[in-house]
Structure 1
Amino acid sequence: MLKKLIIASAIAMSLTAVGCSTTQTSTKQQENLNLLQNKTWILTHIGATEFKTDPTAHNVPSIQFDSATQRVSGADGCNRIMGGYSIEKDKLSLTQLAGTQMMCVNTMELAGKYNAALAKVAAYQVYGKTLRLLDEHGNPVLQYESAIQPR
């Protein structure tokens, strides 16, 4: 009888421990989603190359993730971009990306690099005012800052 009681207690404690760690993980994932979504992220780096934003530019490279519609939008330095996204844990999939087709004399090279980097995105990290979009190996392909301080 004592043996059955000890086994039942061990099982109950194991299930409790697993449930608590799952709750902590889910809470952290929700916090990351809250930091990521519903704000404008302004480009600071493509790969390791720093990008300085010209405040007079027409379409500053940026990205926004709308939690209500699961849509992504922004600009590549020349054209507006839009599409869908999905998130599972720290994995990020950008789907059906499309953009306007304007000709921009001084920013076509930037737009090309930006869109090539977006095509590699497989995950994300967000902390404070910084967002990093990562490739499948965990290497940063794009980095942004938000003007809005998280709460």
Structure 2
Amino acid sequence: MLKNLLLVAALGSAAAFTGCESMQTSPHMTENLQLLQNKTWIATQIGGTAIKTAPNARNIPSIQFDEASKRVSGSDGCNRIMGAYTAGNDTLLLSQLASTRMACINNGNIDQKYNEALSKVTHYQVFGKTLKLLDRHGNLLIQFESAVQPR
């Protein structure tokens, strides 16, 4: 009976240590987070619609993910946005999003479409200079290009 108890305890300990080891941050996860964070992303597409903005435009839809504070900020094409985020290997949760409330005219409702898309984000993909924010089904919500070359 004592042998069975020791065997069960040993197997349970081994399973617990194995489970803890697998929860460590993988190099791939760290790489994805490094590609996502600490740069400005300029929106180029919302859903299936391309966004055309002049390079000298004042309020281009954009987003930044600050690694140190875990805060997100940017513009919806009219108003400033800010909030918090939590990111995993390919998951992204935006929370406590708030924005200024300026009147926006002649912007084709880009601000409304952008904010609606942000509210559905659950995942992300980064490939070089391109960031894709996706919904829980993997559908493209917003596509961005990096304003600065990745290091």
TM-score band (shorter)?
0.7 to 0.9
The match for 1:121 is 121
Residue of structure 2 in register with 1:10 after alignment: none
Contact 2:71 2:85 in 1 (8 A): yes
Question: Aligned partners of 2:127, 2:29: CA distance in 1, in Å?
Answer: 12
Q: CA deviation at 1:53?
A: 1.9
Q: Secondary structure at the match of 2:95?
A: strand
Match of 1:38 in 2: 38
CA distance in 2, matches of 1:116, 1:109: 11
Q: Does 1:52 align with 2:45?
A: no
Distance 2:23 2:86 in 1: 21
Mapped contact 1:37–1:64 kept (Cα < 8 A): yes
Q: Provide the rounded CA distance (Å) in 2 between the counterparts of 1:96 and 1:37.
A: 18
Give the share of equivalent positions with the same residue, in percent.
61
Please provide the CA RMSD for this pair: 2.2
Aligned residues of 1:64 and 1:73 also touching (Cα < 8 A): yes
2:150 and 2:88 mapped to 1: Cα distance?
Answer: 22
Q: Structure 2, unaligned stretches of length 5 or more?
A: 1-14
Structure 1's unaligned 5+ residue stretches are 1-14
Determine the structure 2 residue equivalent to 1:74: 74
Number of aligned residue pairs: give it.
Answer: 135
